[in-house]
Amino acid sequence: MALRRIARLALLLGSLLAVAAPAAASDGVGRGAKWPNGPIRVFNAATADAKAVDLAIAAWNSTRSRVRFVKVKRRARAQVVVRYDNRLAFCGLGFGSIGYPGPYAVAEVRIRRGTAADGQSCAFAGQALVVAHELGHVLGFAHDLKRCSIMNRSVSEGRGGTLCVPQATGPQDAYVVNEFIGRWRCGILEPIDLTRMLRRYGGTAPAPRADPWCDLYPPIEPPAPLVLTRADVEDGAGGVRPAVRVDLTRPADPVLPPFIAADATLLAGSLRDRVYLYRTPGACPAERPLDPFTPPPGTTLVTFGGWQVAPGAAQAVLDDGVTPGPQCYAAWTWDHVGRPSRTAAQATIVVA
């Protein structure tokens, strides 16, 4: 009977634990033995996460290297078994054995089985990242603690390797997290991972993605059309001063995937279901302020708040702080989990 043993195990820590826990014993996991050329037979016992396993396998196979993962239907034939282990405290944690275990042993990947109620980390995106990381260990790769890599020691909320996802480091950039709600590093492998794979097992790097981020649901639309009308007001001294009425159209609410909705209370903060309207003399602003309350110099936050109308209807705002000259108005919406619209609704009016 063949000797079966479990090779050394590496631990992928979720970001919360990585911050709170002392350095894990697996921090320094070294390179494992190289696999012989040819197929690496994988049996997936984590059947509810078949999509995640397939994505992770496809990512590593994209280099067309001398080794490639091939799924098999019979566990007895497998050289790698992917299975559930709910002793792992939450999705984002995983185990992977390191390198080729030899002809008589089976390499192993373990993940936690989760549900949509557990958020993005338990959805296919988060699980694909964890499985790909653990398969990286199976291929013999150690952690990369310095660069954006699937072999970072942790993944951030099912979005990507921790060093691939900008982190909020202080109150001034607390809004960074909102930028990545509902998105993930869908290429799974980062350039450094492809380089390591090619160096170790040969092959050809696939064409790089133009945008490493993919949407897990379409972002909310901006509040378009944005209609401007002169609506001058009395100045209290018998005259009038210029004012502009802005009609903002409330967009439809996006349909949130269940795992995003489950993260809603975690993510939304104070930005739930809001609209932010800015005025800039001259040209329109190039981009949305990261902190919605701190627009760049020259741009004024005219108003912000919740909607008082139903989707599809327009809400009027009176701006009586306007000055003469061309004025650009730009507005962004924030959805129910605090994710901003990608673009602004914009319109320009010349105030005589």
- Binding region for Zn ion (CB under 5 A): 10, 12
Nearer to Zn ion, 83 or 245 (CB): 83
130, 300, 338 from 329: Cα distances, Å = 43, 10, 22
Least Å distance between CB 199 and Zn ion?
Answer: 19
d(CA 97, CA 119): 26
**3-class SS of residue 348:** strand
Least Å distance between CB 16 and Zn ion?
Answer: 16
Nearer to Zn ion, 10 or 256 (CB): 10
Q: Of 205, 207, 166, 169, whose CA–CA distance to 183 is shortest?
A: 166
d(CA 108, CA 89): 18
> Exposure pattern of 26-48 as b/e (b: 16+ CB <10 Å)?
beebeebeebeeeebbbbbebee
Least Å distance between CB 226 and Zn ion?
Answer: 48
Least Å distance between CB 13 and Zn ion?
Answer: 8
Nearer to Zn ion, 28 or 36 (CB): 28
Least Å distance between CB 29 and Zn ion?
Answer: 7
Nearer to Zn ion, 96 or 203 (CB): 96
49, 118, 160 from 262: Cα distances, Å = 18, 7, 19
What percent of the chain is helix, strand and coil (3-state, nearest 5)?
A: 25, 30, 50
Nearer to Zn ion, 12 or 347 (CB): 12
d(CA 313, CA 324): 29
Nearer to Zn ion, 10 or 40 (CB): 10
Burial class (CB in 10 A: 0-12, 13-18, 19+), 173: middle
What are the φ/ψ torsions at residue 310 (nearest 5 degrees)? Answer: -80, 160
With the CA atoms of 160, 164, 170 and 172 taken in that order, what torsion angle do they form, in degrees rounded to the nearest 10?
-100
- How does DSSP assign 215-271, residue by residue? ESSPPPPP---EEEEE--EE-SSSSEE--EEEEEEPPPPP---HHHHHTHHHHHTT-
Nearer to Zn ion, 12 or 82 (CB): 12
Nearer to Zn ion, 56 or 248 (CB): 56
Element at 70 (helix H, strand E): strand 67-71
DSSP state letter for 147: S
Least Å distance between CB 22 and Zn ion?
Answer: 16
Nearer to Zn ion, 150 or 194 (CB): 150
User: By the 8 A CB rule, do 338 and 267 touch?
Assistant: yes
Nearer to Zn ion, 12 or 56 (CB): 12
Least Å distance between CB 12 and Zn ion?
Answer: 4
User: By the 8 A CB rule, do 221 and 251 touch?
Assistant: yes
Euclidean distance between the first and the last CA atom of the chain, given in angstroms as a whole number: 91
